[in-house]
Amino acid sequence: MADIPLHRRIYEQLRKHISEGLYIEGSLLPSENELCSLHNATRPTIRKALDRLAVEGFITRQQGKGSIVKGAPKGVGILSITGTTLAIGSEKLDTKTIVKPEIRSWKKAFSFELTELEKEVGCIYFERLRLVNGKPVFFDITMIPNINLPRFVSRNHEIPSLFNMLREQYNIEVKGGEQKIMAVNANKTIQNHFQLKPDAPVIQLDRKIITSKPGFCFYSQVFCNAQEYALYGTF
Amino acid sequence: MADIPLHRRIYEQLRKHISEGLYIEGSLLPSENELCSLHNATRPTIRKALDRLAVEGFITRQQGKGSIVKGAPKGVGILSITGTTLAIGSEKLDTKTIVKPEIRSWKKAFSFELTELEKEVGCIYFERLRLVNGKPVFFDITMIPNINLPRFVSRNHEIPSLFNMLREQYNIEVKGGEQKIMAVNANKTIQNHFQLKPDAPVIQLDRKIITSKPGFCFYSQVFCNAQEYALYGTF
DNA sequence: ACACTTTACTTGTATATACAAGTTGTTCAG
DNA sequence: CTGAACAACTTGTATATACAAGTAAAGTGT
Asked if residue B122 has pLDDT above 50, the reply is yes
Q: Give the confidence band of A73 by pLDDT, cuts at 50, 70, 90.
A: low
Percent of chain B with pLDDT over 90: 44
pLDDT of residue A176: 67
| Alpha carbon A135 to chain centroid, angstroms | 19
Say whether residue B134 is in contact with chain A using an 8 A CB cutoff.
Answer: no
Q: Is the CB of A57 less than 8 angstroms away from the CB of B201?
A: no
- State whether A235 and B176 contact (CB < 8 Å): yes
- Cα angle value A92/A98/A99 (rounded, 5°): 135
Domain spanning A6-69: CATH 3.20.20.80: no
Q: Which residue has the higher pLDDT, A206 or A86?
A: A206
pLDDT score recorded for residue A133: 80
- Kindly indicate the confidence band of residue A51, based on its pLDDT and cuts at 50, 70 and 90: very high
Least confident interval from A95-109, A214-228, B191-205: A214-228
Predicted pLDDT of residue B56:
75
Q: How many residues does chain A have?
A: 235
Q: What is residue A112's DSSP assignment?
A: B
Confidence bin at A178 (pLDDT 50/70/90):
confident
In this prediction, residue B76 carries a pLDDT of: 46
pLDDT tier at B133 (50, 70, 90 boundaries)? confident
Q: What is the CATH class of A84-224?
A: alpha beta
Look at residue B93 in the predicted model and tell me its pLDDT.
79
Band of the pLDDT at B86, cuts 50, 70, 90?
low
Write down the pLDDT at residue B87.
Answer: 57
**More confidently predicted of B69 and B216:** B69
CA dihedral sign, ordered B177, B58, B11, B222: negative
Residue range A115-123: average pLDDT? 88
| A-B C-beta contacts closer than 8 Å | 107
Q: What's the confidence (pLDDT) of residue B113?
A: 86
Once rounded to an integer, what is the mean pLDDT over residues A79-90? 55
Whether A163 contacts A186, CB under 8 Å: no
* Residues within 8 A of A (CB atoms), B 22-81 only: 44, 55, 57, 73, 75, 79-81
Q: What is the DSSP letter of A81?
A: S
Alpha-carbon distance A55 to A58, whole Å?
8
Residue with minimal CA–C1' distance to C10 is B64
The answer to whether residue A234 neighbours chain B at the CB level (below 8 Å) is yes
Protein residue minimizing CA–C1' distance to D13 = B5
pLDDT at res. A76: 46
| CB-strand contact B52/D, under 7 Å | no
Q: What is the dihedral of CA A232, A114, B73, B19, to 10 degrees?
A: 170
Q: Residue A66: which nucleotide is closest by CA–C1'?
A: D10
Per domain, the residue ranges of chain B are 6-69, 84-224
A1 touches strand D (CB under 7 A): no
pLDDT of residue B3: 76
pLDDT at A79 over 80: no
Would you call B79 and A233 a contact, using CB atoms and an 8 Å cutoff? yes
CA nearest to nucleotide C22 C1': residue? A64
Mean pLDDT rounded to a whole number for chain B: 85
Q: What is the ipTM, given to two decimal places?
A: 0.66
Asked if B40 and B10 touch (Cβ cutoff 8 Å), the reply is no
CB contact under 8 A, A232 and B181: yes
| pLDDT of A234 over the 60 cut | no
pLDDT at res. A75: 47
H or E element in which residue A205 lies: strand A201-211
Say yes or no: Cβ of B7 under 7 A from any atom of strand D. Answer: yes
Interface of A with B in 174-213 (CB under 8 A): 176-185, 199-203, 206
Min distance B223 CA to chain A CA atoms (Å): 11
By CA distance, what is B214's nearest residue in A?
A: A62
Instruction: Spell out residues with C-beta < 7 A from strand C.
Output: A 5-8, 40-45, 48, 62-65; B 3, 29, 31-34, 43-44, 47, 50, 61-67, 214
Residue pLDDT, tens place only, B20-46: 889 998 999 999 999 999 999 999 999
Set of chain B residues whose Cβ sits within 8 Å of the Cβ of A227: 182-183
Average pLDDT over residues A16-34: 92
- Backbone φ/ψ region at A26: left (φ over 0), alpha (ψ -120 to 50), beta: left
Query: Between residues A115 and A67, which one has the greater pLDDT?
Result: A67
What's the distance, Cα to Cα, between the start and end of chain B in Å?
33
**Per-residue confidence band for A120, with pLDDT thresholds at 50, 70 and 90:** confident
DSSP codes of every residue in B112-170: EE--HHHHHH-EEEEEEEEEETTEEEEEEEEEEE-SS-TTHHHH-S--S-HHHHHHHHH
